[in-house]
Amino acid sequence: MHNPRQTKTRKNSTPHSVCNIAVKDKKVYPVKITVKNNCAYTIWPADLTSAPQSHLSNIGFELASKASTSLDVLAPWNGQFWARTGCYIDGSRKFTCTTVDCGFGQVACNGNGNGNGGAPLVSLAEFNLAASGGQDYYDISLEDGFNLPLSITPQGRSASCTAPSCAAYVNGACPTKLRVIGSDGSVIGCNGACIASNQSQYCCTSDYSTSTTCPPTKYSMFFKGECPQAYSYAYDDLTSLFSCSGVSKYTITFCP
């Protein structure tokens, strides 16, 4: 069976085989995705729709502590959500963020994000809605690193579907080689080993491009130990990819 996760658009990504999404051959239906900020500070969520689909109408926004906002998605849909932190207007009047800056200079990422013109170091919520057999597939990914804890909660007819969570504050335990230090000297993020090193054995590329030749490393095992339900490296499908059907709403909570 094809892996239903869409090929990443970020730099240094590892290609995944995907189930082809042909919207014209499938029933289109609305799904509501609610983004909730349970952190004690403001965050700036954003999303990236995988080509060739059209981007969502709201692709970057400010979200105060304890606030939430909802976006309507027409399934089939394949894309990612994340949240930027420490954002401000710099001296040249550009919108800039400490983690996961989109590189566009505005609150809305306009199709840029997590490596596609911007910076990696990001906790991702990934979705492939109405994919193979009409199933939804979703996951939390730390392949590119960690900046915020998060969870995904499916809601609808299939109440038994798994609600994965990465609630650990990974930055506090991040290995020295993966740490990203902020201007105040604190650890503001934890890079994935591929991003930090750009070496094939961590990126699962070149001679390490299969599940046999690219086993877990000490760094991916660190992320897996912190967040057992999250992707820790490219071939971590068995315990990290979840499926559901009949879901009308998903909630992504940052700092669950």
Question: What is the pLDDT tens value at each position of the chain, 256 positions in all?
Answer: 234 554 343 333 333 333 333 444 567 889 999 999 999 999 999 998 887 676 787 789 999 999 999 999 999 999 999 999 999 998 889 999 999 988 888 998 876 555 444 456 899 999 999 997 889 999 999 999 999 999 999 987 655 799 999 999 999 999 999 999 998 999 999 999 998 999 999 999 999 999 999 999 999 999 999 999 999 999 999 999 999 988 999 999 999 9
Angle (nearest 5°) at CA 14 between 12 and 15: 130
CATH number at residue 31: 2.60.110.10
* CB 146 within 8 Å of CB 171: yes
With respect to residue 5, please indicate whether it lies within any of the assigned structural domains. Answer: no
pLDDT at residue 138, as a whole number = 96
Could you list the residue range(s) of the whole structural domain that residue 163 is in?
Answer: 27-169+228-254
With respect to residue 245, please indicate whether it lies within any of the assigned structural domains. Answer: yes
Q: How many domains does the chain have?
A: 1
Q: Which of 122, 141, 255, 124 is nearest to 190 (CA)?
A: 122
With respect to residue 187, please indicate whether it lies within any of the assigned structural domains. Answer: no
With respect to residue 56, please indicate whether it lies within any of the assigned structural domains. Answer: yes
Whole-prediction pTM value? 0.88
With respect to residue 1, please indicate whether it lies within any of the assigned structural domains. Answer: no
Q: Which of 86, 83, 97 is nearest to 48 (CA)?
A: 83
Q: How many Å apart are CA 128 and CA 68, to the nearest integer?
A: 22
SS3 77: strand
Q: Which two tokens mark 83?
A: 């949240």
With respect to residue 211, please indicate whether it lies within any of the assigned structural domains. Answer: no
The CA radius of gyration of the chain, in Å to the nearest whole number, is 17
With respect to residue 161, please indicate whether it lies within any of the assigned structural domains. Answer: yes
With respect to residue 191, please indicate whether it lies within any of the assigned structural domains. Answer: no
The mean of the pLDDT values for the chain is 85
